[in-house]
Amino acid sequence: MPVHRQPGTVVTDHRFQVPLDHEEPEGEHIEIFAREVAPAGKDSDRLPWLLFLQGGPGNRAPRPLGRDGWLERALDDYRVLLLDQRGTGLSTPANRRTLPVRGDAAAQAEYLSHFRADAIVRDCEIVRRRLRGEDEPWSVLGQSFGGFCAVSYLSYAPRSLSEVLITGGLPGLRTAPEEVYRAAYPRIQRKNAAHYARYPDDVAAVRDIVRHLRDRPAELPGGGVLTPRAFQSLGLMLGSGTGSHTLHYLIEDAFVTGPAGRVLSDSFLTEAQGHLSFAGGPLYAVLHEATYGQKSVSAQGTRWAAETVRREFPAFDADIALDGDGPVLFTGESIHPWMFETDPALAPLREPAELLAQREEWPDLYDPDRLAHNEVPVAAAVYHDDMYVDTADSLRTARAIRGLRTWVTDEYEHDGLRVSGGRVLDRLVRMVRGEL
């Protein structure tokens, strides 16, 4: 096991073999990578373990730089395990380069069907037993999609958990995919209104950019295509604490004047590509709606729910906006079929993604009855009007999990864990211990 030292920490790399399909433990195995971070000087102590489950789906765990961010607070009390969930980071990768090895589109889709929260939880159980022993529980911290995984963990292996901390990640236990987006679009609309109130000059600037792209879609430096819809999807950043400001600075840098007149600047196109490309995390797009699929809720599958529901909200239609004089609205956390045409990182995965969208009877991810009888201490930060996770759904789930304590706040947006310098984590730790 490689061991490294960073400022204030000792970092140890771990690799584990787990079944691709946990229902077939003797079948094909894949590798799971995890990075242990212990406080320097205490790395030999018997500190309790805190497993961190990253947001996503399809994002690798954060790469630590010593005692930075929320780790500063976590390492006061815990030995932290940063897990690269299956298919991400240094775990066996699943992307356009590797998936063709599986075979045709149907084989790739079947392979990817094993990459949801239920499989991730069972991976965690193998890791826990290796690190802790058969009967020793550990603590779990879940951010966003990691919180979804934590609720699955509470549903199916609660005896393995000593406490659970969740930030911006209480899912609807019985919410159909279409309802997820019917609740999401009005929240996104409110984030747009707040952005344009903050930066009113962006109304005209965005209309100018979208009109330009409607006439002349732009090629991005990495080979993707920037269309009006792709540009609108930059609204994904509006759910973070600094996202509105970042978007504004991108917009103000859009045009330069060349020999042929006004053109989109290289800096604008390069930055836009950085926000739009799924090259670093294709599973986010491929599996995003699958995270909501449950046979007891939506037996017919997910079927591009975000695209279907978008038609119910004509305010997001750029052509309608340009025909009037109002703002063009940005969209948010939603995945659409056209993304698999405009992004080179996703184009080879278009057919598997379509098969996953049409897949029926996804296994249930949560057990409401077991959660109603929960005995594990749980504390959750619920961000007021969170753009990514519906607050009403989160609070319904909080009431459905016995003993769960919530902290509802508008001091932070969805990225509160990352940007709060440990304050969000500290409050949750104190809540779960009964100190608050």
Residue 360's DSSP bridge partners are: none
Q: How far apart are CA 353 and CA 108, in angstroms?
A: 9
Decide if 75 contacts 302 (C-beta within 8 A): no
Q: How far apart are CA 331 and CA 334, in angstroms?
A: 7
CA distances from residue 405 to 216, 377, 397, 410 in whole angstroms, order as listed: 52, 8, 11, 17
Q: Which of 414, 415, 420, 426 is catalytic?
A: 414
- Percent of the chain that is helix, strand, coil (3-state, to 5): 45, 15, 40
Q: Which of 144, 160, 233, 298 is catalytic?
A: 144
Closest by alpha carbon to 167, among 399, 350, 417, 397? 417
Known catalytic residue at 144: yes
3-state secondary structure of 101: helix
Pairing of strands 138-143, 49-53: parallel
Q: Which of 84, 123, 202, 386 is catalytic?
A: 386
CA atoms within 13 A on the CB side of 352: 25
Known catalytic residue at 113: no
Q: Is the peptide bond before 259 cis (omega within 30 degrees of 0)?
A: no
Known catalytic residue at 420: no
Decide if 345 contacts 214 (C-beta within 8 A): no
Question: Long-range contact list for 38-45, CB < 8 A, 24+ apart?
Answer: 38/9, 38/10, 38/11, 38/12, 38/75, 38/79, 38/80, 39/8, 39/9, 39/10, 39/67, 39/75, 39/76, 39/79, 40/5, 40/8, 40/9, 40/10, 43/10, 43/79
Q: Which residues are catalytic?
A: 144, 386, 414
